[in-house]
Structure 1
Amino acid sequence: MVPAISILDQSTIVSGRDAGQAIRETLEVARLADRLGYARYWLAEHHNSRSHAGSAPEIVIAAIAATTQRIRIGSAGVMLPHYSALKVAEQFRALEAIAPGRIDLGLGRAPGSDGRTAYALNPNAATAADNFPAAVRDLLGWLGDGLPEQHPYREVRASPEVPTFPEVWILGSSDYGAQVAAFFGLPYCFAHFITDGQGCAEAIATYRQTFREMRGQGPHAAIGIYALAAPTEAEAEALFAPRALWRLHRDRGVYPPLPTAEEAAAYPYSDAERARVARMRERAIIGTPGQVRERIEALAIEVGAQEVAILAPCHDTEARLRSVTLIAEAFEMTGELAPCA
């Protein structure tokens, strides 16, 4: 079975360009993905970051929803511990009013930032993550499930009250998110690009084994991966080098803008760093369009995913747009509305 193919965008800030340009590039790529036939376009949430401009996915979702025709648009995800469940429900009901039947609400538990920033967003950050399941319950209640009989805010209604509802997902990089998704009978996406796949198959297996059908549909598992296509393997390798250097920085807790190919080539790699990059390259899904499709399909089968969301930050905007196009062509996308989960 060929997985559905979507895009995950962190609105990456690149060396030499600012955050505003990163957001505008996101809008451009989303419009292209809509024309090509990708299933979904998801926006990540990060705060206090020099690497990513996507601090408010709900705002960018609205802009994309207003300028696209068929693609589903959503968050991957809203970091729920930072916010009131009621406010998030109202934001995504408003998005449904803009693009009925095309909105996804992906929810995460991680801070998407450093600890200090988490407290700046929510002074109760010390306990908010522990309350994630209850917050998901409340959010689902305000989106249509209804709140429990004894809930103190049962009579509070989330507005605007529109006839359609966002599709709610749980996102994660461990068994925890898989168990929450299974408990509430929701679709689940594993952040493969964060863990390099570690724990992915196990989390999806846990999700499927413990899934409770509550909404008339069975389990639906997706993975978020890094993948990049170019006309030749050599070009794909060159485009991957800045991403590999950025990952070296990330693994040390440093989050700079994505470097240029020239900056990556000039970097004084140690022997240990060269070995680390070589290991990254072995796992990276990069190459010609045919090679990328083959590896994506193999990975989806290996871990049991029905859908794959591709993350492909690239310093060269034209190369990124070309990669999005080449992958669409490799998967023989038609531009028609893909079926939802």
Structure 2
Amino acid sequence: MRISVLDQAPISSNQTSSQALIEALKLAKAAEDLGYARYWIAEHHDLPGLACSAPEVMLGYIGAHTDTIRIGSGAVLLPHYKPYKVAEVYNTLASLFPGRVDVGIGRAPGGSAEATNALSDHFLQNVFQMPTSVRELIHFLDDDFPHDHKYTNVSAAPVPDISPEPWLLGTSKKSALLAAEYGMAYAFGLFMSDRDGQEIINLYRENYKARKKEQKSEVILTVSVICADTVEKAEELALSHLIWKLQTEKGEGREGVPSINQAKSYPMTDQDKRSLQNMKKNIIIGDTEKVRKELCNLKETYDFDELMIVTITYDPNDRIRSYELLAEIVQQRDY
């Protein structure tokens, strides 16, 4: 089973944004050493505790300090941008790092209404135009507009020898069908969805139409995991993540991911406790044996080609340790 990393560049309460971004590079380098297939970094705007507003900048930095791991966005929030500019950026990255660049596409705003308005005009209108924008982006990346198209004489230079691989990220039947129609690889965000992922992935597989002869359907399943040497340790690490998510939902969380002690002392109402229990349903938490069982269950349930892991902890060393243990699990067992 191939495994990969989704990083949201979390900022801990004892960190600056600069330190959090340096830790993102450390994670990418560790992932490469551990044999992970790819490293993607998310795009969020003015969200408490996250430093990933410009993935294209970080990918240039990370690509220059790694050698083999695939790098990409998870995801470019396309309604904010013109497809041509996105293609130029990722073609440039693909020219610098041949055969290593993915461009994941999403349609979420990635931040508050105020941040959305500051980023772009007519966001909702652009969301409705998403299928057209995705189609244009693919043509720019493949450099193959029809001869009668208005952009037939426009190239997203520099045109690399190996084009970036486009992925569509989503959690709905609509996104699955769009990816299938345009012959894109598909990443299903299980960690942020309560929907029937199995049905959605099957829908994608059944309707997939390859853009090129050698292409076939490909699915990444993205899950949230916190693995530690003991179940108790994993539960403690997860509490920091969960309290931070709770604070963020309540309009707090500007100080970043709390320490374990800060998380334990957070005053919770009964409603807060119920919210935490619901959040835990979307996170795999445990030692290697418990996590191994959960991964086996996922493999039996979902028809995916690759498992992408998002892990948030207060201490960056605990985050890297979690990825180390996950790599050991996968290497020790034939899934």
Q: What TM-score do you get using the length of structure 1 for normalisation?
A: 0.92
Q: Deviations over 1:237-276 (max 9, x none)?
A: 1101011112323444555421111111001122232233
- What CA deviation, in whole Å up to 9, does each residue of 1:117-147 have, x standing for no partner? 2222111323111111111111111112512
> Match of 1:96?
94
Q: Does structure 1 retain, via aligned residues, the 8 Å contact 2:48–2:248?
A: no
Q: Do the aligned partners of residues 145 and 153 (structure 1) sit closer, same or farther apart at CA in structure 2, a change above 3 Å counting?
A: closer
Partner amino acid, structure 2, of 1:296: L
Report 1:131-170 matches (<5 A): 131-170=129-168
Equivalent residue for 1:245?
243
Q: Which residue of 2 aligns with 1:226?
A: 224
Amino acid in the other structure paired with 1:332: Q
> What is residue 286 of structure 2 aligned with on the other side?
287
- Structure 2 counterpart SS, 1:332: helix
Return closer, same or farther for 1:205/1:149 CA change in 2, 3 Å cut-off.
Answer: same
Contact 2:234 2:286 in 1 (8 A): yes
Cα deviation, residue 281, structure 1: 3.5
Alignment of 1:163-312 (within 5 A): 163-195=161-193, 197-215=194-212, 216-252=214-250, 254=252, 256=254, 257-312=256-311
* Equivalent position of 1:34 in the other structure: 32
8 A Cα contact 1:300 1:306, kept in partner: no
- Counterpart contact for 2:12–2:315, Cα < 8 Å: no
How many positions carry a matched residue from both structures? 330
Aligned to 2:328: 329
Q: TM-score, normalised by structure 2?
A: 0.93
Distance 2:127 2:121 in 1: 12
Amino acid across the alignment from 2:240: P
Mean CA deviation greater in 236-245 or 292-301: 292-301
Where does the alignment leave 5 or more consecutive residues of structure 1 unmatched? 334-341
CA distance in 1, matches of 2:248, 2:2: 29
Q: Report SS of the residue matched to 1:46.
A: coil
Indicate the SS of the match to 2:215. Answer: coil
Q: Which runs of 5+ in 2 are unaligned?
A: none
Pick which of 260-269 and 291-300 moved more.
Answer: 291-300
Which 10-residue stretch deviates more, 153-162 or 274-283?
274-283
* Paired residue type of 1:177: S
